[in-house]
Each structure stands twice: as structure tokens, then as C-alpha cells.
Amino acid sequence: MEKTATRIWNLLVREGESALPHCECGCAETESSKIVGWCFHCDHVYLSYSREIEDRHFADNCPDALDELKKSARERLLKH
């Protein structure tokens, strides 16, 4: 699974050039072998994944997430 995820990520992002908006959290320096997932709205990558981690990303760092998605993520974070 790890090799497949790395290959997919390398196809999506080649030589640091992404067609997706850049995430604002600083994940761009992540070693590709440590990636467990990525955002469909920007070039963010996950080193670990949970719903809370995803909500934090959408609420604070995803530049291209819809406002509705950002709002619902912030609301879920307030409940925890």
C-alpha cells in the first residue's frame, strides 16, 4: 500500500510542481515514503490520518476548500 500511495503522489506532484493550490501547513517538505494520504483540494499530504486531523486541515490550512467545508470542519472541532 505504501509503495502504491507513493507512486500515486509522485504522479500527482512532480518535481515540486503541483497543479493544485499549495497547502499552508508546511507539509511540502514531507518525505514521500511517509505519506499515508492527501487532500483532493490542495497539495496537502497526511503523515497520519484521522477525522480530527482532516478537520484541522480544512479549518485552518486548505486554501481551496469550499467555505461550507471549512465551516463544517470548524464546527466539528468545536465539539471536541
Distance of CA 33 to the CA centre of its chain: 15
Cα–Cα dist 42/34, whole Å: 18
Instruction: For residues 53 and 72, give the distance between their C-alpha atoms in angstroms, rounded to a whole number.
Output: 14
Cell 464546527 identifies what position?
A: 75
pLDDT, tens digit, 9 for 90 and up, residues 44-63: 899 999 999 999 999 998 98
Average pLDDT over residues 31-38: 87
The domain segmentation of the chain, as residue ranges, is 2-79
